[in-house]
Structure 1
Amino acid sequence: MVMVSPSITQLTTTSTLCLTRRSIYFISPSSFRSPPSTITHQYSYPLSKQTRRPLNIISAANLPFDLAPPPIDHDLLDTAISAGAKVSEDGIAETFNNDDEALDTVDKGTVVVDLSHYGRIRVSGEDRAHFLHNQSTADFDSLHEGQGCDTVFVTPTARTIDIAHAWIMKTAITLVVSPEISRSITEMLNKYIFFTDKVEVEDITMRTKLFVLVGPNSNKVISNLNINDLVGQPYGSHKHYSVNGMPVTVAVGNVVSEEGFSLMMAPAAADSVWKALLSHGAIPMGSNAWEKLRILRGRPVPGKELTNEYNVLEAGLWNSISLDKGCYKGQETISRLITYDGIKQKLWGINLSSPVEPGSSITIDGKKIGKLTSYTATRKNPEHFGLGYVKRSGASEGDTVTVGDNVVGKLVKVPYIAHQRQPPQKTKS
């Protein structure tokens, strides 16, 4: 067994593994027609405090998440509960009783959020990049191992389904998608695999865990864990490391921002990684505060801002769209919208005077110009905030609107949409 320090070190070796329900075994070269890659490092997990049974043994692999052990213990959940977290029946830490502190820390420190309820989908096979290239809005054919991007799954008429965060790995592409939508996206992708396509799509949500770091001190936390080589790298850049001897993939950016970091790992590594992040200054944020942050940042989600009512350009997701990669699902509609300036509405943040229900109409002088899609209460002035779609011709930044019967609102830009880079309009001849 190799002794390792609590710091994170990059993984560069390869291994061959065989998984069972409880253990991972190394397979000898004689078991294969061609010998597997040489195993040069091996890590031993500690005993579970609750059961005193040994956790899985895993070696450092070039792709730790090509094969990942199933959940064995609930150490992370136990850690959260012991820290005072309120946990839902689905095992989601809703609050650590520090929601206000966590939201304040986003602006001046670092928070860590367990987003393991978000979906993870693994797309493998020789044709994986070109397959996703054809099924979503990003230019996958131009990406290489270690890079990443956002991409949007849309209907044939460019109506939004979900934003996915993609990491290009050596033998697979990992997609992070919104909660409760992994199965439908997996089924949708499998439906479009032709018999000649060398592609496999698998939902690996239950076999992995996902944390995100948000806040201006995220670089410091990551540097303290000896991951200096990712600091300053482009959004989506990712590498494989070891935390206390356990494999972790770390990527630049998170669900709500191009800053910060995302960390994906096997369930057996989650408790150790969580504690390491807390020990270096991150404070925990629960899902309730995360939803507030999501709205304040203006990040669209399925069922609210991403529905059959709105297309991908109305949602303002320009960073996720390639305009010159050729044919893909929804491409014809997107091209027409751009060519003929057919974007009819826009997603705005709205400072509100009082609470109001999502779905309420947005009006000016009694004329409906849009609809509220999300609402949250905050401690800061203004104390109420929402997201909503407004007709482009109906209002602009700073305008006062009425939401519902009599709630006063003011249209403002939100960070997530403001950072989207719309290409310059071509001059008509």
Structure 2
Amino acid sequence: MSRYSEQKQVAKKEVALYQYPDYGVIQLTGEDCLQFLHNQTTNEVKSLKPQQGCHTVFVNSTGRTLDLATVYVTEEKVLLLVSPQRTEFLMSWLDRYLFPMDRVTLKNVSEDYTVFTIAGEKSEAMGKQLGITINWEQPFATHEKITIDAVSVRIAVGTEIALPGYTLLVSSEHSEHLKQILTNLGAASIEQSAWEELTLEQGRPLPDSELTEDHNPLEAGLWNAISFDKGCYIGQETIARLNTYQGVKQRLWGIKLSQPVDLETPITLEGKKVGKLTRLLETDEGIKGLAYIRTKAGGEGLTVQVGEATGEVFALPFLTH
């Protein structure tokens, strides 16, 4: 078993600590910031209260995916976690829709924060040691601000990979101190390559791979980040129509391959193209990937051909349909 496999086991059964090398953090302040964000993304944002949060999706005018974001509402501001390669784009995107009468201020505060995850079955017990009062029974992104050894930390329920745990936001100047505290309590650091394997195996879609303007968030399995009851937002008509008329023609799945293939290799069934790969990784358990597959072709348990390789389709815990 490689060290990556060992680290993945820790992330599932024990307590793993992962420090994101970078994360986009956009801060919104002003009286209208919740309403403004509500109008720009797919989820029911304006009804959130301080210490609440959610996933939400940025889509373009035709309902195609720009990024999956996490919202944290506080008494003074809204913090928006976005993909690092999308931060500047989304800053410009949001600014484009700001009108002079909007009481909203945007600021890129990515350099001010470090984002950690502690994940694993024993992370809740560690949370109690840290003084966390929120627990896993509370909704995703429920959060609180606590002090750990004189360090102010915002801690939220949930991880970005569908494993139990917490997300922690701390000022960058105190990140190393917090990391040492968590390590001393028994959290085992996990490397980026192991985290990437977990991300793929759990099915967390990423920009430039699964989250692109070639696909909509329903295809990407992000139904939990979409409200079908809210009012108008950018791309809402397309999303509503796809849902009403069952127009989702492809879905994101995991795929395990019998041998290596090129990422551009089409997925076929009985000689007909039924899908395309978006990501591939070689792991101790074999070659795994993510793929969009036509809904009519089937889903979990389906056997397909990918060039010379045989592929077995499997479900992804992070996604909902």
Normalising by structure 1, what TM-score? 0.73
User: 1:408 and 2:313 equivalent?
Assistant: no
**Distance in 2 between residues matched to 1:138 and 1:273, nearest whole Å:** 32
Q: Residue 225 of structure 1: CA displacement?
A: 1.2
Following the alignment from structure 2 to structure 1, what is the Cα–Cα distance between the partners of residues 90 and 68?
A: 11
2:300 corresponds in structure 1 to: 397
Q: Secondary structure at the match of 1:409?
A: strand
Letter matched to residue 333 of structure 1 = T
Aligned residue in 2 for 1:57: none
| 1:110 aligned residue | 15
Q: Is the 8 A contact 1:361 1:370 kept in 2?
A: yes
Which of 183, 187, 193 is residue 98 of structure 2 equivalent to?
193
Determine the C-alpha separation between the residues in 2 that align with 1:166 and 1:197: 19
- In terms of Rg, which structure is larger? 1
Cα deviation for residue 360 of structure 1 reads: 2.2
Asked if 1 retains the 8 angstrom alpha-carbon contact of 2:134 and 2:157, the reply is no
Amino acid at match of 1:385: K
Pairing 1:387–2:268 present: no
Q: Does 1:249 pair with 2:175?
A: no
Aligned pairs for 1:199-210 within 5 A: 199-210=104-115
Between the aligned partners of 1:159 and 1:288, the Cα distance in structure 2 is 29
Does residue 304 of structure 1 match 2:209?
Answer: yes
1:394 maps to amino acid? A
* Deviation for aligned residue 1:231: 4.8
Aligned partners of 2:297 and 2:3: how far apart in 1?
A: 39
Per-residue CA shift, 1:376-396, capped at 9, x if unaligned?
A: 12213xx11110000111222
1:370 counterpart = 2:275? yes
Return the alpha-carbon distance in structure 1 between the equivalents of residues 221 and 155 of structure 2: 27
Report the 3-state secondary structure (helix = DSSP H, G, I; strand = E; otherwise coil) of the residue aligned with 1:140.
Answer: coil
Following superposition, the deviation at residue 321 of structure 1 comes to: 0.3
Alpha-carbon deviations, 1:331-367, whole Å to 9, x = none? 0001111111111101011111122232321101211
Matched, 1:330 2:232: no
Give the root-mean-square deviation of aligned CA atoms.
1.4
- Conserved in 2, the CA contact under 8 Å of 1:243 and 1:272? no
Identity in percent: 38
Match of 1:347 in 2: 252
- Give the whole-Å Cα distance in 2 for the aligned partners of 1:299 and 1:166: 17
Give the C-alpha shift of residue 232 in structure 1. Answer: 3.2
2:48 corresponds to 1:146: no
8 A Cα contact 1:252 1:258, kept in partner: no
Which of 270, 276, 279 lines up with 2:184 in the alignment? 279
> Is contact 1:377-1:384 (8 Å) kept?
yes
Using a 3 Å threshold, how does the CA distance of structure 1 residues 341 and 315 change in structure 2: closer, same or farther?
A: same
Q: Which amino acid aligns with 1:192?
A: Y
Shift of 1:179: 2.2
- Which letter does structure 2 place at the counterpart of 1:130? Q
Give the drift of 1:129.
Answer: 0.2
Structural mapping, 1:199-278, within 5 Å: 199-257=104-162, 259-278=164-183
Q: Is the 8 A contact 1:235 1:259 kept in 2?
A: no
Moved over 3 A (4+): 228-232
The Cα of 1:312 is off from its aligned counterpart by 1.1
- Give the distance between the partners of 1:231 and 1:342, measured in 2 at CA: 34
Counterpart of 1:173 in structure 2 is 78
User: In 2, distance between residues paired with 1:228 and 1:136?
Assistant: 30
State the alpha-carbon separation in 2 of the partners of residues 160 and 187 from structure 1: 16
Match of 1:39 in 2: none
- Displacement of 1:116 after TM fit? 4.3
Secondary structure class of the residue paired with 1:180: helix
Task: Specify which structure has the bigger relative contact order, considering alpha-carbon pairs within 8 angstroms and separated by 6 or more residues.
Answer: 2
**Alpha-carbon distance between aligned partners in 1 of 2:170 and 2:253, rounded to the nearest angstrom:** 35
* Contact kept in structure 1, 2:23 and 2:114, CA below 8 Å: no
Query: Which secondary structure state, in structure 2, belongs to the residue aligned with residue 221 of structure 1?
Result: helix
Q: Greater share of strand residues, 1 or 2?
A: 2
Q: CA deviation at 1:301?
A: 0.6
